[in-house]
Structure 1
Amino acid sequence: MKLNDPTTIKKFKTWFWGALAFGFLFVVTIFILIGLEFFGPLPTFRELENPKSNVASEVISEDNIVLGNIYKEYRSFVDYNEISPNVINALIATEDVRFHNHSGIDFKGLGRVMFKTVLFAQRSAGGGSTITQQLAKNLFPRDISSKQNVFVRTTKLVITKFKEWITAVKLERNYTKEEIAAMYLNVVEFGSNSFGIKAAAKTFFDTTPDSLTIDQAALLVGVVNAPTRYSPVRNPENARHRRNVVLGQMLKYGYISQEQFDSISKLPIVLKYQAQSHNQGTATYFREMLRLFMTASKPNPKRYWSQQLYREDSLLWETNPLYGWCNKNTKPDGTPYNVYTDGLKIYTTVNSRMQRYAEEALAEHLKNDLQPALDKEIKARGGKIFYDITPEQADHIIYLAMRQTQRYRGLVASGASRDSIMDNFNEKIPMRVFSWKGERDTLMSPLDSIRYYKQFLRSSFMAMDPHNGHVKAYVGGPDFKHFKYDMVQQGKRQVGSTIKPFLYTLAMQEGYSPCTKVPNVTQTFVVGDTIWAPKNSGSTKYDGQMVTLKWGLSNSVNNISAWIMKQFAPSAVVEMIHQLGIKSYIEPVPSIILGTFEFSLYEMVGAYGTYVNKGVQVEPIFVTRIEDKNGNVLATFNTKKNEAISEQTAYLMINLLESVVNQGTGVRLRLKYRLPGKIGGKTGTTQHHSDGWFMGVTPNLVAGVWTGAEDRSVHFQNLALGQGANMALPIFGLFMQKVYADTSLGISPNDDWQKPLLPSNVSINCEDESSYEINEIEIY
C-alpha cells in the first residue's frame, strides 16, 4: 500500500476524523449523562455552598484561648487571611502553578500529563489535577473499592474523574480563588491525626497558620502528597527531601530568591511536635465533662442502677439547657447537632491562666508532698497498700477492680475460664505506667498494675466566681490519661467537717451570732432504740467550758456542732443544705454533723459561694454561649440564682469562716503560705482520714479541694498527715499564691467583703477571741 495513494490518504482521514469525532461525541455523551446524574448524584448547589467535612468543636476559655478540641477528626477551619502567604505560595508552586489562570481544569497541565507522563513515562512531569479538582476529590470522596474487578474499577475511576471536573468548575463559579485555596488547606490530611492547616500547624510546630515560616510551610505542603511517607516524625529524611523539592518549586516560580533557597534548604527540620489527643493539653477533665454533658441522652430509668442518680439526671435534663444540648437542639436540616463534626465554638467560663495555676498547684502538692509521704508509710508497713482491712478484704477490692477492666470483659466474652483469666492477669507484659517523674516503660502483670495504681492519691479542684457562678478552673484528677474518673462532678465522697458551716448557717439564720456562747460538752441523741453521742477525737483546755460558736467552727469541734443540731430538727438542717444548692440525697438524721453523706465538689463550691454572694445561691455554670463554625450564635446560657439566706446571715458565716483561717484549722494559709487579705475557709476530714477537704472563700473567688485515694481503705495512718489541712488546704494555698501574683486576673488581697448593716445586738468580735490558741488539728 502506497502512503501517497489518494485512496489510502482518504481512508486514513476518514478513520482519523471518525475516531476523533467518536471520541468527542463519547466524551460529550459521558458529560451529559453525568450531568443528568445517570452515574449517580452530583453535589447539589446547597452541598457546594455548605460542603460537609468533620470539623472539630473548639472549647474556648473566657480569655479567648482554645483549651482543646472535641473531634472525630482533629480539624479546625481558618479563613484565607489567617493563613501565611508562605503556605499559599508553597501550595501554588507545588500543586497548581496556573491556579489563578484556570477555571477549575488546567488543560495545559492535562496535555503535559498526556504527552510526558503517559506517552514518555516521565514521572517528574507530575499530575494534571488542579487545586480545585483536589478540593472536589477531598470534599466528595471517590466510591471505588479495591474488591471490584479491574474493568469496573477503571470505568468508575474515569467517570469519577469527570465528575470531579464538573464539580471543580462548579466550585470555581461559586467561590473565589482565595476561598478555594483556604477550603483546600482546611480539608486535606497532614498525618498524625491532623486534618487542615490549623491542626497541622499546632501539631507539628505548636503555632498558628498565620505564623508559619517558609521552611515550615514547605514542609507541610510537601507532607500532603503522602502523609506517612513524608512524615517529619516517622520519616524525617524523606520529609526533608520533600521539603526541599517544594522549596525548589518556590524558587522556580519566583516565590523565593536563590539566597533564600540556599540557606533554607540546608536547615534541619525542627519540630515542636505534640500529637493531639483528648488525654493531653489544658483542662482535660473539663473538656471530657463538657463532652459528656452536652451529648447526654434523655435519662432512661432502665439504664440506672440508682434511683437517686436517675432523679438527679432527670432534674438536670429538665432544668439545665446545656445538659444534653446536642440531643435537645437540631440543625436547619432537622438533624441533631454533632459536637464531634459540626465545628461548634463552645465559649466557656474557664480562665486559661487560673486553670493552669490550678493544675500546677494540684500536681505540685501531690508530687512533692503527699504521694512521697504515703509511699513512705506503705513501704514501712511492708508494702501493704490498704490499711485497717483484712488481707481477704484487700484481695476482694483488687478482684472487683479486675472485673471492671476491658481485658477481663474481653476474656470473659471469649469464653475463657476463671483459671485462665487469672493466669492472663498474672503474666508480666510490657506496659507504660504513670509516675510523678513521667511515664515509664516497665514489665508488669495486669494484676500488679491494678495494685500499683491503687496506691496513688487523687485530688480535684474547682474555683468559681461567686457572684455570677462562672467556673474559673476545673481539675478532676491528677492525670486524665491514667486516672479518667472526674472527682469534681462525677465523683462524690463523704464531706466530713466541711458540712458544719451549713449547721452554723441555720443557727445564724435563727438569731444566734458568732459570739454566742454554748457548752463544750458531749451531746446525746436518741436514735431509735439507741443513744448516740458524737465525740471529739482530741481534747482541748476548753472541754467542759462555755465557748463561742466562732471557736467551735474554727476548731471543728463536734461537741458544738452536736449542740446546734439539738436546737433544730435534722430535717431543718437538711432543708437548709438543699437551699444552699446541694442536690444530693441526705437522710435527716443527727449524724449529719459528721459529714458522712457524699456530695460532689461541684455542689460544695456552689453552696459555699452563697456566703460570698450575700446569701444568693448561684448555680455554677461553665458555658456562656455556643456558636456554629461560621460564628452564628446558637445558644446563650445564663446563671440561675436563688435567694437562699439573708444577707446578714451570709455575712455572719463569712466572719465564722474567716476565723477558721485566722485562728483555727485553716491557719496554715497564714503561717505557711503567707496569704494576705480577706480569706475564709473550712477544713474537712472523714473517718480514718480517707478524705481530706478544704473549702476556701475570698471576696471574688470561691474554691474547693478534695484529696483521697480511689479506695477509702488507702489512707494515711495518722491525723496529722491525713487531715484536710494537710491533704487539701495546701492546694488552695498554692493556687491562691499564683492567682495573687498574676495581677491581670483582677483578684487582689485588697478585695473586701460586702458588709451589710447588722442588728445592734449581733456581735462578731468576741471578747475572748484573742485568748484562743491557734489550732490547725481538726477535732472531728
Structure 2
Amino acid sequence: MLLLFWFSVYIGLWGTLPSGKDLKDIKQAEATLLLDANSELLGKYFIFDRQIVSYEDLPKHLVDALIATEDSRFYEHNGVDYTSLFRVFFKSILLQDNSSGGGSTISQQLVKNIYGREKHGWFSMPVNKVKEMIVAKRFESIYSKQEIIALYLNTVPFSENVFGIESASQRFFNTTTKDLSLAQSATLIGTLKAPHGYNPRLFPERSQLRRDVVLQQMEKYDYIDEALKKTTSDIPLETDYRKFNHTDGIAPYFREKIRLEVKRVLDSINTKDDTAYDLYKDGLKIHTTLDIAMQRYAETAMKTHMATLQNQFEKAYGTQAPWIKNTALIDSRIKGLKLYKTLKKKNWSDAQIMDSLQAKGNFRLFSWKGDLVEESSILDSLKHTMKFLNAGFVAVDPKSGAIKAYVGGIDFERFKYDHVSASKRQVGSTFKPLVYTTALEKGIEPCSYYPVKEVTYTNQKGWTPTNNGENETDRHLNFSLEKAISESVNTIAVKVLEDVGIEAVIEQAQKMGIKSPLPKVPSLALGTAELSMLELIEAYTSYVNEGRISKPFYITKIEDKTGQVIYESQQANESPEAFSKTTQQTMIEMMKSTINSGTAQRIRSRYGLQNDLAGKTGTTQNNKDGWFVGLSPKLVMLSWVGNDDHRIGFSNTSIGQGANSALPIVALFLKEMNTDNQFNAITQAKFEAPSEAVINALDCELEKRDGFLKRLFKKDKKEREFDSSSEVKKKKKKGIFNFLKKKQ
C-alpha cells in the first residue's frame, strides 16, 4: 500500500513534480538593489525581500550552524535521511514524543522553500512529504552539497517577509552575510525553527536562548569547542535593525523618484528589445549618483533646523494661527478630504459630515519630538497637519549634474509630495542673479549705479516695488550691481530688468535650463515665476561650470542579475555656453558678497563657515517661501522651506526670510561635511581667481549718494511707465566690460 501511494505521487496523480530540467532552471524572485555612488545599499524594491549570495560569501560558522541544527548528517545522505525518518516515526508517531525533532533534511526543506506545499485535504501532509523526498533526491543528483546549501540559505524564509540570509543579515544586523559574526550567524539560524517566535527584534530574550541552543549543537558536533561556545554565549544579543520599505530608511523621496524613473526605463527597454524585466522580481542593480554619507548629513540638517523653525513659526502666530482662526481656509481643506467627498456622494448633509469628522479616536500624529498617539478627531488631525512647514534640499555636482543629496520633504510617510522635483513654487529673489547675468551679457557694467528709491509704475496698475533694508528708502542713494544683488534690492532688480528687457531675461533664463513658462511682467525680476527646485539648481550650475549648465541626473546605470548593463545614463559631454566666462566670474564675485556682507552673511557670523562660498537668498511675497542657494566650487546646494498650502505663510519676514528659514539647512549640512575628511576635496575647494579685467571692472565704491547739485537740479520722478521691451541704454554698452566680452 505504501509503495502504491509513493508511486501515485511519483507519477503525478497528486500534482506534477518538477523535472530535472525545471530544477536546473530554478528562478526565484529577487529584490532589486538601489546603490549609491559608492555601491552602498540605499534601498530595495521587492515583492519578497530576497537577494542572492554565492556559497563563497557564506562564513564557515554559518554553514556549520545550519548543519549542526537542521541536518547533522547532511553530508552523508542523498537528500533523504532515513535514520531521522525512522526516529520520527517511532518517537513522534508511536511514542508521542515531540522532542524527537523533525525528519526533513536541508534538501527537503529547500524543496518546500521553493515550491511550497499544496492542499490535499486529509492527505496533505503525507503527499507533500513524499513529494519533497522525491524532489530532494533529484536535487542531490543535479547539485553539489555546497550548491544546495547556497540555494537553501538564499530561499529560506525569515520573519517580516524577509527571504534569504543576505536580506536577513541586512535587516537584523545591518551587515552583509560574509561579515556575520558567529553570534549573529547562530541567532539567524536559530530563528529558522520559528521565524516569528524567535524574531530577534521582537523577542530578544527568547531569540538569545535559541541562539545558545544552536551554539550547543555546534559544540556537540565538534564545529566549535566549549571555550568558544561559552565566550559567544556570554555576548548579549544586539540587533542593528534596518528595515527596507517605501516609507522608512534613508532617502525615501529619492527612492520613490528612482522607482518611478526606473519603471519608465524598463518599459522602454522591454518594448524596444522584447524583454520582460521586472523591477520587483529580477534582482536588478540600480547604480545612482547619490552619496549616502552626504544624504545622511542632509537629512540630519533638515530635521535639526525644521524642528527649531517649526517652534518659531507656531509661537509667532500664537492663538491667531490660520489653522486655528481662518475658518474659510479650514473649511476649504475639509471639503478637499476624500472622506468628505465620499460622504457627499452618499447625500450626507454638512452637519452630518462634521459630526463624523469630529468623532474622537486614537490617532497617531506627526511631531518633531516623536509621533504622538492622542485621542483626537479627523478634524483635529487635519488642523494639526496644516500647521507643519515643509522643506526641500538638493545638492548637485556642478560639473557633471550628478545629484549627491536629495531631501524631498520632512516625512515621507505623511507628506509624500516631493518638493525637489514635483513641486513648483515662486522662487523669489533667487531669480535676481538671472536678471543681473542678462545685464552683464548685454554690456551693463558691474559698477553701473542704480538708485534704490521706490518708483510707482503707472502702467502696471500703480505697482510699487518696495525694499526691506534700512538704507533702501533713501531717495538719493545709489548701489552698484554688486551691492544691489548682495543686499537683494527689489527696486534695482526691476530697474535692471527694464533696462535689458523682459524678453532678454527670459531668453537668458532659457539658455540656463529654465523650461517652465515665465511671466512677461516686471515682477519677474522679483521671482514671481514658479519653478521646480531641479530647474533652479540646474540654472545655478552654470555659475560654477564656466557658464555651461549641467542637467541634474540620478541614475548612472542599471545591471541585470548577471551584471550585464541594460541601461546607462547618456549625459551630454558639454552643454552650449549660456553666458561668457567674464560674466560667470563676475557673478561669482558678486554673489560672494551676498555671503560675506549681504543677506546671507549669517552663514559666516552665526554658523562660522569659512568655506569658499557664493550664494543667494530668496523670500517670496507675504513670506510664503524661503529659499537659499549655496555655491561652492564643487557643489551647488539649494534649500526651500514653506507650507504645503500656499495660503499659509510666515507671520513675519524676520522668521520667513530665506536667510532664516532656508539657509540654515545648507549651513548645517556644510558643517557636517566639514568634519568629514572624505569630503575635503569639496569643502576645501577654492573658486578660480577672477581675471584682472574682472577685478578691475568690480573695483568701485559699492554705493554712492547723489551730490548736492544733482540733488538740487535732478527731477525726482516718483512715477513712471515700465517699458517692457526697452533695450540697454547706449551709454551702458560702452566700457571695458563690454569690450572684454566681445574679445572672448
TM-score by length of 2: 0.87
Question: How far did residue 275 of structure 1 move?
Answer: 4.5
Provide the C-alpha distance between the structure 1 equivalents of 2:604 and 2:569, rounded to a whole number of angstroms.
38
Q: Which amino acid aligns with 1:122?
A: D
Provide the C-alpha distance between the structure 1 equivalents of 2:402 and 2:287, rounded to a whole number of angstroms.
12
Matched, 1:534 2:453: no
> SS at the partner of 1:342?
coil
* Alignment correspondent of 1:79: 54
Provide the C-alpha distance between the structure 1 equivalents of 2:610 and 2:28, rounded to a whole number of angstroms.
55
* Alignment correspondent of 2:25: 49
1:328 to 244, 268, 274: 268
The one-character-per-residue Cα deviations of 1:458-517 (angstroms, maximum 9, x if unpaired) are: 111100110001111111122222322221112121111111111111111122232222
2:112 to 113, 131, 137: 137
Task: Please tell me whether the aligned partners of residues 523 and 562 of structure 1 are also in contact (alpha carbons under 8 angstroms).
Answer: no
> SS at the partner of 2:192?
helix
Provide the C-alpha distance between the structure 1 equivalents of 2:194 and 2:430, rounded to a whole number of angstroms.
58
> SS at the partner of 1:619?
coil
1:197 to 165, 168, 186: 165
* Alignment correspondent of 2:579: 645
2:380 to 448, 456, 469: 448
* Alignment correspondent of 1:702: 636
Task: Please tell me whether the aligned partners of residues 513 and 762 of structure 1 are also in contact (alpha carbons under 8 angstroms).
Answer: no
The one-character-per-residue Cα deviations of 1:141-195 (angstroms, maximum 9, x if unpaired) are: 2332xxx643xxx1x6555444434433443344332232122222222112322
Question: How far did residue 265 of structure 1 move?
Answer: 4.8
Map 1:204-219 → 2, pairs under 5 A: 204-219=172-187
* Alignment correspondent of 2:667: 733
Which range moves more in the overlay, 339-348 or 605-614?
A: 339-348
> SS at the partner of 1:697?
strand
1:361 to 276, 281, 301: 301
294 and 115 in structure 1: CA distance in 2 versus 1, 3 angstrom threshold? same
> SS at the partner of 1:221?
helix
* Alignment correspondent of 1:340: 280
The one-character-per-residue Cα deviations of 1:367-424 (angstroms, maximum 9, x if unpaired) are: 23x1221121232xx252459xx733222243145x14xx556766888665443223
Map 1:465-480 → 2, pairs under 5 A: 465-480=397-412
Provide the C-alpha distance between the structure 1 equivalents of 2:375 and 2:277, rounded to a whole number of angstroms.
44
Matched, 1:88 2:66: no
1:438 to 344, 349, 370: 370
* Alignment correspondent of 1:384: 321
The one-character-per-residue Cα deviations of 1:247-290 (angstroms, maximum 9, x if unpaired) are: 33222211222344455556654333454433222112211221
Provide the C-alpha distance between the structure 2 equivalents of 1:234 and 1:603, rounded to a whole number of angstroms.
45
Structure 2 gaps, min length 5: 706-744
Provide the C-alpha distance between the structure 1 equivalents of 2:505 and 2:457, rounded to a whole number of angstroms.
15
Question: How far did residue 358 of structure 1 move?
Answer: 1.0
* Alignment correspondent of 2:625: 691
Task: Please tell me whether the aligned partners of residues 523 and 563 of structure 1 are also in contact (alpha carbons under 8 angstroms).
Answer: no
692 and 190 in structure 1: CA distance in 2 versus 1, 3 angstrom threshold? same
Map 1:503-582 → 2, pairs under 5 A: 503-522=435-454, 530=461, 532-538=463-469, 540=471, 543-582=475-514
252 and 771 in structure 1: CA distance in 2 versus 1, 3 angstrom threshold? farther
1:393 to 328, 332, 335: 328
* Alignment correspondent of 1:313: none
Task: Please tell me whether the aligned partners of residues 392 and 407 of structure 2 are also in contact (alpha carbons under 8 angstroms).
Answer: yes
* Alignment correspondent of 1:597: 529
410 and 685 in structure 1: CA distance in 2 versus 1, 3 angstrom threshold? same
Provide the C-alpha distance between the structure 2 equivalents of 1:186 and 1:749, rounded to a whole number of angstroms.
43
Q: Which amino acid aligns with 1:342?
A: D
Provide the C-alpha distance between the structure 2 equivalents of 1:209 and 1:625, rounded to a whole number of angstroms.
25
Task: Please tell me whether the aligned partners of residues 334 and 340 of structure 2 are also in contact (alpha carbons under 8 angstroms).
Answer: no
Task: Please tell me whether the aligned partners of residues 703 and 732 of structure 1 are also in contact (alpha carbons under 8 angstroms).
Answer: yes
269 and 749 in structure 1: CA distance in 2 versus 1, 3 angstrom threshold? closer
622 and 761 in structure 1: CA distance in 2 versus 1, 3 angstrom threshold? closer
* Alignment correspondent of 1:16: none
> SS at the partner of 1:634?
strand
Question: How far did residue 70 of structure 1 move?
Answer: 2.3
Question: How far did residue 38 of structure 1 move?
Answer: 8.7
> SS at the partner of 1:711?
coil
1:719 to 644, 653, 659: 653
Question: How far did residue 592 of structure 1 move?
Answer: 1.0
Question: How far did residue 628 of structure 1 move?
Answer: 2.1
Provide the C-alpha distance between the structure 2 equivalents of 1:349 and 1:770, rounded to a whole number of angstroms.
44
1:676 to 596, 601, 610: 610
> SS at the partner of 2:575?
strand
Question: How far did residue 350 of structure 1 move?
Answer: 1.0
Task: Please tell me whether the aligned partners of residues 538 and 549 of structure 2 are also in contact (alpha carbons under 8 angstroms).
Answer: yes
Question: How far did residue 714 of structure 1 move?
Answer: 2.9
Question: How far did residue 732 of structure 1 move?
Answer: 1.2
2:700 to 767, 775, 778: 767
Q: Which amino acid aligns with 2:293?
A: R
Q: Which amino acid aligns with 1:294?
A: V
> SS at the partner of 1:395?
helix
Provide the C-alpha distance between the structure 2 equivalents of 1:762 and 1:275, rounded to a whole number of angstroms.
54
1:250 to 215, 218, 226: 218
Task: Please tell me whether the aligned partners of residues 49 and 174 of structure 1 are also in contact (alpha carbons under 8 angstroms).
Answer: no
* Alignment correspondent of 1:657: 591
333 and 115 in structure 1: CA distance in 2 versus 1, 3 angstrom threshold? farther
655 and 761 in structure 1: CA distance in 2 versus 1, 3 angstrom threshold? closer
> SS at the partner of 2:195?
coil
349 and 517 in structure 1: CA distance in 2 versus 1, 3 angstrom threshold? same
Question: How far did residue 696 of structure 1 move?
Answer: 1.0
The one-character-per-residue Cα deviations of 1:693-736 (angstroms, maximum 9, x if unpaired) are: 00111111100000111223333322122111111112111211
Question: How far did residue 441 of structure 1 move?
Answer: 2.2
Q: Which amino acid aligns with 2:102?
A: G
Question: How far did residue 525 of structure 1 move?
Answer: 5.2
TM-score by length of 1: 0.83
Task: Please tell me whether the aligned partners of residues 494 and 599 of structure 1 are also in contact (alpha carbons under 8 angstroms).
Answer: yes
Provide the C-alpha distance between the structure 2 equivalents of 1:749 and 1:411, rounded to a whole number of angstroms.
56
% of aligned pairs identical? 37
Q: Which amino acid aligns with 1:271?
A: T
Provide the C-alpha distance between the structure 1 equivalents of 2:204 and 2:678, rounded to a whole number of angstroms.
42
What's the RMSD between the two structures over aligned residues?
3.0
Provide the C-alpha distance between the structure 1 equivalents of 2:67 and 2:321, rounded to a whole number of angstroms.
65
* Alignment correspondent of 1:777: none
Question: How far did residue 565 of structure 1 move?
Answer: 1.6
Question: How far did residue 50 of structure 1 move?
Answer: 4.2
Number of residue-to-residue matches in the alignment: 702
